[in-house]
Amino acid sequence: MGRILDGQPVAAAIQHEVRERASSLAARGVVPGLAIVRVGEDPASVSYVRQKDRAATGLGLRSHVFVLPAEVEEAELLSLISRLNGDPGVHGVLVQLPLPPHLSPERVLAAVDPRKDADGLHPENLGRLVRGDPNLLPCTPRAVQEILVRSGYPPSGKHVVIVGRGLLVGRPLSILLSQRGPGGDATVTLCHSATPNLGRFTREGDIVVVAVGKPGTLTAEVVREGAVVVDVGVNRVPTPKGYRLVGDADFAALQDKVEAITPVPGGVGPVTVAVLLLNTVLACEAQTTGR
């Protein structure tokens, strides 16, 4: 029976660092401020934003949620972002994704001041990651890296196979894990919907990360014994009473075969939130001390 890689202790270790840094800032009279922008009433986004807001205030940060209607014009959203960019009490700005289809996530993410880019998805910060000179890191890729390193499975020297090349997770993760130095130095294969015979690649992985958004994408047949699996997917599956959350991996069958696997929920999700708050305090330090 494989080990379950619970995200809670990893999140708790990162939260501890956030709390320490926030109290050092408080001693200088600075309270790190996070602005969270939500557009529309997508139930998953409502729930994620609530979690992030609560987690921020629980660690001594100041958090403010801005809610705009789903039909808001892009100019109005960009104007709010511009106002938050100029607010000295706001050190991190997060726009919850996905956005309604009439809004361009590229334009919206690029409008956030890169120094306040709590999500680490601004083109400048992604560019710095590619150059090997990272600043604020994208939250979910860093969460995956933290889980691996802090659970005793550092990616260095391993073959990591990533399924999914999305901008939020798979693509930046492939760069993060293959960069030079601690937490990196992996050999990475990046698979996607145009990969023929996915199993041919996933069977080669010492570590397999799946970030697709479709339940059952990663089955036990396509992962080798003793591999480590990180399941990033979050899918709502209807039940008679409402819905339940499942990942992209066939958890029950894989658990019998692998060395370790993250659960959904309770794996990558809580660590992603902790990294968001870490980014916010790091951004605050940089803005208030010039570091």
User: Is-catalytic flag, 42?
Assistant: no
- The torsion angles phi and psi of 70, rounded to 5 degrees, stand at -55, -30
Residue closest to 90 by CA, chosen among 64, 68, 67, 71:
64
φ/ψ region of 182 (left if φ > 0, alpha if ψ in -120 to 50, else beta) reads beta
**Is 140 a residue that touches ligand NAP (CB under 6 A)?**
yes
Phi-psi sector, 20: left (phi>0), alpha (psi -120 to 50), beta? alpha
Q: Which of 198, 245, 253, 286 binds ligand NAP (CB under 6 A)?
A: 198
Question: From the CB of 34, what's the least distance to ligand NAP, in Å?
Answer: 17
Beta strand 92-95 with 3-4 is unpaired
Q: How far is the CB of 80 from ligand NAP (least distance, A)?
A: 23
Measured distance CA(247)–CA(250) in Å, rounded? 8
Shortest Å distance, C-beta 264 to ligand NAP: 8
- Contact criterion met (CB below 8 Å) for 101 and 71: no
Active site residue 119: yes
Beta bridge pairs of residue 13:
none
Report in angstroms how near the CB of residue 237 gets to ligand NAP at its nearest: 12
Q: Interface with ligand NAP by CB under 6 A: which range of 9-17, 113-121, 236-244, 266-274? A: 266-274
Distance CA 95, CA 108 (A): 8
Verify binding: residue 128, ligand NAP, rule CB under 6 A. Answer: no
Instruction: Indicate whether 236 belongs to the interface with ligand NAP (CB under 6 A).
Output: no
Catalytic choice (96, 145, 179, 287): 96
User: How far apart are alpha carbons 34 and 49 in whole angstroms?
Assistant: 12
Among 25, 144, 168, 209, binds ligand NAP (CB under 6 A): 168
Position 158 contacts ligand NAP (CB under 6 A): no
Q: Is 52 considered catalytic here? A: yes
C-beta of residue 265 within 8 angstroms of C-beta of residue 8: no
Give the contacts of 225 (CB within 8 A, at least 6 positions apart): 257, 258
Q: How many residues of this chain interact with ligand NAP, rule: CB under 6 A? A: 27
> Which residue shows structure tokens 């590619």?
130
Which H/E stretch holds residue 187? strand 187-191
92 vs 164 by CB, closer to ligand NAP: 164
Q: Are 164 and 210 in contact (CB under 8 A)?
A: yes
The distance of closest approach from Cβ of residue 193 to ligand NAP in the complex, given in angstroms and rounded to an integer, is 3
Q: Quick one: angle between helices 139-150 and 7-27, nearest 10?
A: 110
Residue from 118, 232, 275, 284 in contact with ligand NAP (CB under 6 A): 232
- Tell me the residue nearest to ligand NAP as measured from the CB: 166
- Least separation in angstroms between CB 213 and ligand NAP: 3
**163 contacts ligand NAP (rule: CB under 6 A):** yes
Binding residue (CB under 6 A) for ligand NAP from 233, 250, 260, 261: 233
Q: Which of 191, 228, 249, 283 binds ligand NAP (CB under 6 A)?
A: 191
Which positions are catalytic? Answer: 52, 96, 119
List residues binding ligand NAP (CB under 6 A): 140, 163-170, 191-195, 198, 211-214, 217, 232-235, 268-269, 272
